[in-house]
Amino acid sequence: AQRVTQPEKLLSVFKGAPVELKCNYSYSGSPELFWYVQYSRQRLQLLLRHISRESIKGFTADLNKGETSFHLKKPFAQEEDSAMYYCALKVQGAQKLVFGQGTRLTINP
């Protein structure tokens, strides 16, 4: 079965420091990977997807098929980045997303 693993439940870094949220997946086919973010008291929203190869709010994520990873990175963390981050996988032909357990990121001033 497909699975998404986010090994860190909690991650705390200082403002201005680099941040990396890890995501690993298990799927033998061609995956679509996403990062979703949930700010305090707000709904879940799409941050970025690997297909777009974009940078959103300074965040980037590269799909590494060899390591089956899709880590989220930002070179200089900001306090407003504090939120819950979820990595999600969509398999070919399926409609649903498989979510990881989430990582709560806290940026300390």
Where does this chain bind other proteins (CB under 8 A)?
A: 32, 36, 42-46, 49, 51, 86, 90, 95-102
Q: Which is nearer to other proteins, 44 or 56 (CB)?
A: 44
Q: Which is nearer to other proteins, 19 or 47 (CB)?
A: 47
Query: What tokens appear for 50 in the block?
Result: 């690997």
Distance CA 70, CA 25 (A): 8
Distance of closest approach, residue 76 Cβ to other proteins, in angstroms: 26
Distance of closest approach, residue 40 Cβ to other proteins, in angstroms: 13
Q: Are the C-beta atoms of residues 99 and 3 closer than 8 Å to each other?
A: no
Q: Which is nearer to other proteins, 42 or 64 (CB)?
A: 42
Report which of 5, 11, 17, 97 is spatially closest to residue 49, judged by C-alpha positions.
97
Question: Which residues neighbour 56 within 8 Å (Cβ) at sequence distance 6 or greater?
Answer: 47, 48
Distance of closest approach, residue 29 Cβ to other proteins, in angstroms: 15
Distance of closest approach, residue 77 Cβ to other proteins, in angstroms: 22
Q: Which is nearer to other proteins, 57 or 96 (CB)?
A: 96
Burial class (CB in 10 A: 0-12, 13-18, 19+), 68: middle
